[in-house]
Structure 1
């Protein structure tokens, strides 16, 4: 495992812990908002980690799909767990769907484009998290939420994370296409 992929796993874990904390802090709010948060967290986790499984297990679509689904459902259940059973179920089902889609994306993406795709998916997950935080804290007096209310600051935060991800080592080391190096005596 490359250093870049390890940093990516750590950053993704922190991101989905933030989804969990949003539900923990707001478990007395609207049921629909909490279900939507569990769904957003489960779906983005499923797509993100399903795509990684598709990359790592390229050529073994069944195994990458199963692992993507299991990881997505586990994270979705974890995110929805602090509220009610229906919220947990919503997170699990969204994780299931995201895990399937992520494994397909990872399996079908061209070799050499893994880093770009993972950075893009991570940025989408971050943007959805920021929007979710703003949804719950429209009337909050929290310093962090007040900070996130300004769209320019949110844009700068997202750009900072994007440029920080660009500075990280590659997630997947360059892979040599073996078909280019096979030479035949007959032609």
Structure 2
């Protein structure tokens, strides 16, 4: 049985891998690729954390929406600030949108499909981040030797971390079923005039 912490640690390793790659080579990455990096990371991370927070705290929709919007927006800003103001705005807005959509989806997931959704979004989010890594590699040419060449010029090390994340997410089982929450108070009742 895999813990949620091992999943989060592996996911943060993938995120930090992409962040360090963009930071080290930011001068050689084109502005269009920089905008794509900010938008993709903001949206993907906002969506992923929104889904997780929506599943874990489905009774606190507003708070989790704000938190996931902040996580996604700040991620987009952190990745975009390395390039230009357009990338910052693009990453921020994409992160906010991803955070909102993620929480909405996380709250609506029935108890019997939670593990399936976690597996699907583990594949989706880490796959998008790996494709982003390939995009950055295509945009620049790495001539260094040593650890930079091992971590950033080759696809295999990050690919193995992504595969590890797939395996861990497949073994993870959501431990406690959520209590059914009565959302009927959110509906408009025609008797209140």
Which TM class, normalised by the smaller chain length?
A: 0.7 to 0.9
Alignment correspondent of 1:86: 86
| Superimposed CA distance per residue, residues 75-131 of structure 1 (whole angstroms, 9 cap, x where no aligned partner) | 222222323232222211111010011011101111132232123212222212222
Distance of aligned partners of 1:34 and 1:176 in 2 relative to their CA distance in 1, 3 Å threshold: closer
* Partners of 1:38 and 1:88 within 8 A in 2: yes
Aligned to 1:183: none
Match of 1:175, SS state, is: coil
Which moves more between the two structures, 19-28 or 36-45? 19-28
Counterpart selection for 1:173 from 161, 175, 184: 175
The Cα shift of 1:41 comes to 0.5
Task: Render the CA deviation track for 1:130-176: whole Å, top value 9, x for unaligned.
Answer: 22222222344534555428xxx95x775453223323x42x31327
Does 2:10 correspond to 1:11? yes
TM-score normalised by the chain length of structure 2: 0.75
- Does residue 148 in structure 1 map to residue 147 in structure 2? no
Q: How does 1:37-116 map to 2 (within 5 A)?
A: 37-116=37-116
Q: Which structure 1 segments of 5+ residues have no match?
A: 180-187
Gaps of 5+ in 2: 144-148, 182-193
Which residue in 2 is equivalent to 1:182? none
Q: TM-score, normalised by structure 1?
A: 0.77
Residue of structure 2 equivalent to 1:163? 167
Count of residue correspondences: 172
Q: Give, in angstroms, the shift of residue 38 of structure 1.
A: 0.9
Contact 2:72 2:98 in 1 (8 A): yes
**Runs of 4+ that moved beyond 3 A:** 139-147, 156-161, 176-179
Q: Residue in 2 aligned with 1:31?
A: 31
